Amino acid sequence: MEKDKVFSKQIEKKFEFDQAVASVFDDMLNRSVPFYDEVRRLVISLILAEQKEGKKILDLGVSTAKFLLDLHSKMEVSMQLKGIDNSPAMLERAEQKCKAFGAAVDLELADMTEYDYRNEDIIVANYTLQFIRPMQRIELVKKLYEGLNSEGIFIFSEKVVFDDKRLDKEMIDIYYDYKKIQGYSEYEIAQKREALENVLIPFTIEENIRMCKEAGFVHINTVFQWANFVTFVAKK
């Protein structure tokens, strides 16, 4: 696994999922997202609890396919695994990995806001919605609801903000301390923060829940939280 050094030099553009990011993305996730492995295992366990022959699992923002490959390795029945992403660099990595592991995973280059969702059983979005503009995000979740089968499930993890500005600042500081422990310098942290400005736009927990309710979801719960990182489960 290549080590993430993307922000060790001065940035020249806003954050994007290009070849430079794709080449170190797995390391970036492991070191930038607190408890990423634990959350991934939790979501996989939730899916396995619902596993059934032929069930359709769709991963939005599949990136390098790490999540779907882990799910594939633990399935006890044959489910239909598919991942979509709008980054050719990410999909190239994903295709290489799926081929190496001999995993039957369908990958498609697509914009998740324009994708035709039909008869999906479980849709997963791991830290993906936060990169969609707010109004588009709300419309996307409505499309996801409509594209899910009855009793369909939408599982998503997001970085969040807090209404309490003092608490929000404290959470940000705690998170930056976490990144320093992971080996990132203050310069790298500042560079990435600048690159993500107006690219990653988080909602509050309440806004995420309201977005799901307004889309039609009946049951919305949080199943994991560490500081400003939360995992939600929304059911029709």
> What CATH number is associated with residue 35?
3.40.50.150
Domain-located, residue 152: yes
Total structural domains in the chain?
1
Domain-located, residue 3: no
Query: How many angstroms separate the CA atoms of 1 and 44, rounded?
Result: 22
Domain-located, residue 12: no
pTM summary value: 0.86
CA distances from 55 to 20, 98, 108, 144, 236 (A): 34, 19, 18, 16, 16
Domain-located, residue 10: no
Could you list the pLDDT tens digit for every one of the 236 residues in the chain?
545 344 445 555 444 444 544 445 566 677 788 899 999 999 999 999 999 999 999 999 998 899 999 999 999 999 999 999 998 988 998 999 899 989 999 999 999 999 999 999 999 999 999 989 999 999 999 999 999 999 999 999 999 999 999 999 999 999 988 888 877 767 666 666 666 566 688 999 999 999 999 999 999 999 999 999 999 999 99
Domain-located, residue 103: yes
Domain-located, residue 97: yes
Strands (E), 71-168: 80-85, 105-109, 120-126, 148-161
Domain-located, residue 2: no
Domain-located, residue 9: no
Q: Tell me the residue range of the domain where 159 lies.
A: 19-235
